[in-house]
Structure 1
Amino acid sequence: MKIAYFQCSAGISGDMILGALVDAGLSLEALKNELMKLKVPFDLKSRRVLKNGISGTKVQVIVEEGHVHRHLSHIRAIVQESELKGKVKKDIMRVFTNLAEAEAKVHNTTVEAVHFHEVGALDSIIDICGSVAGLELLGIEKIYCSPIHIGTGFTKCAHGIIPLPAPAVVQLLRGIKVYSKGVKAELVTPTGAAVISTLCDDFGEIPFMSMESCGCGAGDRELEIPNLLRICIGQLEQNENRDLAEYPGE
């Protein structure tokens, strides 16, 4: 079984997921071609960057629209009218529905009445759709994730100044192992939290696996820690309970 393990030592965001997937071997052109099935205007660019001396890939989603607020129904229409595979559509809508439920809880409203602000913008839609489609293109069958490093402090959004992690992120990460090292920055975005909380099968230590590739997706900020999301891709080993003494070098 082909699996992916996300190491969230600097949190997680949608663009970092895209960068990690591309860095691990996903073709940027293949991802672009898949996302063109959404029939919305966008472009993707990638470049190599260094974060605290460690290289990774930064993927940038380029869109021309201004600040647009969308409801879940608008996003559902974009996804359902696309030519994406049925499973990909289903998983994308699972992510957006979970995000809408978190926002509805925070703002004391209904799922269909939720106004997506930053997440309703086309770049965030591409981030989420690209994350789901990219994992499918790589043939990932199961997803694992480390405990998630969350930031602290405050950030400014459409509603004003709010504490970190953002309230929607807190809702999305309920029941998931998290920790903080006091980094004063938004390490986990609603987009990243929605994707990983929806798609991940298990949170904890890396499973017993035969590693085939790995990649690092870069965030925007320069932090005291490497602002990178690492993904390890490989085959899940079925004999994970065997005594590691059987393996030379252990």
Structure 2
Amino acid sequence: MNTIYIEAFSGLSGNMFLSAFSALLGDYEVLRDLPQKLHLPDGKIEIKQVDKNGINCQYVEVIDLNLGKEPDHDHSHSHSHEHNHDHGHTHSHNHAHTHAHNHSHTHSHDDSHTHEHSHSHGAHRHLSDIQKIIDHAHISDNAKKIAHDIFLMIGQAESKIHDMPLETIHFHEISGVDSIIDIVGNAVLIDQLNISKVYCTPICTGFGIVKTQHGMLPVPAPATAELLQGMPIYPGTEEGEKITPTGAAILKYLNPDFKSTAYTTIKTAYGPGKKNFHNANVVRISLLKSEVEQEKDTYLQLEASIDDMSPEYLGVSFQDGLLAAGAVDFSITQQLMKKGRFAFLLSVILPKSNLTEVANYIFNSTSTIGVRYYNIDRIELPRIQKTKQTPFGEVLVKESTTPTQQLKSKPEFDDVERLAKANNQSPYQVLNTINSNF
């Protein structure tokens, strides 16, 4: 499970998240065939290098081939907003917009962010239509759930703003090919990054008035403001719309903690917006050493020599309980003790904070009447957990990078065993097949 820190000093949009998450994962290829997996042949994803105020980063561009180019969108919100685009959109409607709003899109805006999109394009879909596209996609079940949740949040915000039943709202811009790929792509990346905890800075929204089909509206647009309720925001110094409904919905899904505390970063990635501003138009997302890992940086080695108990009691059940009590690693080796007695040396590595729990477990589960422990130091490589698709199903993989940038990866053995049972093969066969596909 991974912890991330989002710095939203220039707002947020769907494709800013898309670019940053891809860079954090270190894998842009996972997105290239997403249009095919969604059965949306009119969609295309391109990766290009851009410079934002001296920050070199990769921009993930989602293109609707019907329009020839990624709509500026942004805020699309579904609402029609005006979007300029030209749509007229009419939409009034109902919008549902789900926005992405775009608002107003007209925008021009500055929007910073550029992002998102999609306007309108084409057929206007209801939430149920989008849900069908997601359900039939060739992506993981968890990624589908994440995508459903994000679209639902956008729809609920639009429904409240327009005082219309959710099922009757038309998702205009947000229902476009590029917007669907944008949101589902983020869902896939969130799933693969295995994110469990999110921290975030207060969010820069921009300020001013934006022209929409509903007239002149304040920034952030109404649906965006609805999605941002409960989060700390500020207008910043540059006029324009800096956070889109899609960006706000993704952030809301991630349920960030805005508390200020010290963090240890492992990896940092940048997600650029399409527009250029005086300030760098990027979001910075860092992979952190989790709070639990930071608290457990001080390790102990605990030992006990056991010479009057059958080794049967030190089997799998005992070992599982030891890990559950808070051990991070252990070994059991044979010894010869005084008076010629054979014994077993139990050596356990554990965080200092877990000493009482682990010691009590050993006292309750073995015949020993004493343990010894001492401080140890460890050097660890930065690591990240990813969910990867294999011929047998999904498997969690731990990846670490050496000082010379060599990648080491290892599938979780529990997942290997699970897949072996499900496919009627041995763990050895499954592991070999998985390794040959990496």
TM-score (normalizing by structure 2): 0.52
Query: Quick check: 1:165–1:186 contact (8 Å CA) kept in 2?
Result: yes
Which protein is bigger by CA-based radius of gyration?
A: 2
Residue 58 of structure 1 corresponds to which residue in structure 2? Answer: 59
Match of 2:173 in 1: 118
Mean Cα deviation higher: 62-71 or 215-224: 62-71
Tell me if 1:81 matches 2:136.
Answer: yes
Which residue matches 2:207? Answer: 152
Residues 34 and 181, structure 2, Cα contact 8 Å, conserved in 1: no
- 2:5: which partner in 1? 5
Please point out which of 247, 251, 266 is paired with 1:212. 266
Corresponding position of 1:43: 44
CA distance in 1, matches of 2:140, 2:293: 33
Alpha-carbon spacing, 1:60–1:156, altered in 2? closer, same or farther (3 Å)? farther
Residue 236 of structure 1 corresponds to 290
- Counterpart among 241, 244, 248 of residue 193 in structure 1: 248
More strand by share: 2
Report the Cα distance in structure 2 between the residues aligned to 1:11 and 1:129, rounded to whole angstroms. 20
CA displacement at 1:240 relative to structure 2: 5.7
Local SS of the residue matching 1:24: helix
Partner of 1:18 in structure 2? 18
Q: Any conservation in 2 of the 1:56–1:228 contact (CA below 8 Å)? A: no
Counterparts of 1:228 and 1:104, CA distance in 2: 30
Could you tell me the percent identity over the aligned residues? Answer: 35
Higher relative contact order (CA 8 A, sep 6+): 1
Query: Comparing 11-20 with 158-167, which one deviates more in the overlay?
Result: 158-167
User: Which residue of 2 is the match for residue 247 of structure 1?
Assistant: none
**Cα shift readout 1:124-170 (whole Å, capped 9, x = no counterpart):** 11111111111222232322222111111233445454321111000
Which amino acid letter does the alignment assign opposite residue 43 of structure 1? K
C-alpha RMSD over aligned residues: 2.1
CA shift for structure 1 position 200: 2.6
How far apart in 1 are the matches of 2:218 and 2:203? Answer: 17
Q: 1:38 to 1:204 in 2, by over 3 A?
A: farther
Residue 104 (structure 1) aligned with residue 159 (structure 2): yes
Unaligned runs of 5+ in 1: 243-250
Change (3 A) 1:40 1:126: same
Asked if 1:72 is matched to 2:127, the reply is yes
Please give the secondary structure, in 2, of the residue aligned with 1:112: helix
CA displacement 1:12-40 (0-9 Å, x = unmatched): 00010111122324311122245532221
Choose 176-185 or 59-68, whichever is displaced more: 59-68
User: In the aligned structure 2, how far is the partner of 1:72 from the partner of 1:101?
Assistant: 10
Aligned-partner residue type, residue 164 of structure 1: V
- Give me the whole-angstrom Cα distance separating, in 2, the residues matched to 1:184 and 1:204: 27
Residues 7 and 230 in structure 1, CA contact (< 8 A), matched pair in contact too: yes
Structure 1 residues 160 and 65: CA distance shift in structure 2, 3 A: farther
C-alpha contact 1:26 1:138 (8 A) present in aligned 2 = no
Return 148-157 or 7-16, whichever deviates more: 148-157
Three-state SS of the structure 2 residue aligned to 1:176 is coil
- Given residue 130 of structure 1, which amino acid in structure 2 is its aligned partner? G
Q: How many correspondences in the alignment?
A: 241
| Pairwise CA distance, 1:188 | 0.2
What are the Cα deviations for residues 50-101 of structure 1, in whole angstroms up to 9, with x where unaligned? Answer: 1122222211001223513221111111011222211111111111111101
Distance (Å, rounded) in 2 between the aligned partners of 1:106 and 1:127: 23
Check conservation: 2:204, 2:235, Cα contact below 8 A. yes
Matched AA of 2:185: G
> Which residue of 2 is the match for residue 129 of structure 1?
184
Q: Distance in 2 between matches of 1:239 and 1:138?
A: 17
Equivalence for 1:179: 234
Does the aligned pair in 2 maintain the 1:149–1:179 contact within 8 Å?
Answer: yes
8 Å Cα contact 2:44-2:65 kept in structure 1: no
Q: Which amino acid aligns with 1:232?
A: S
Q: Report the AA paired with residue 163 of structure 1.
A: P
Q: Secondary structure at the match of 1:83?
A: coil
Matched, 1:143 2:144: no
Contact kept in structure 2, 1:117 and 1:158, CA below 8 Å? no
2:166 aligned counterpart, secondary structure: coil
Contact 2:14/2:182 (8 A) holds in 1: yes
Q: Closer, same or farther in 2 for the Cα pair 1:116/1:159, shift >3 Å? A: farther
Could you tell me whether the CA contact under 8 Å between 2:263 and 2:288 is conserved in 1?
A: no
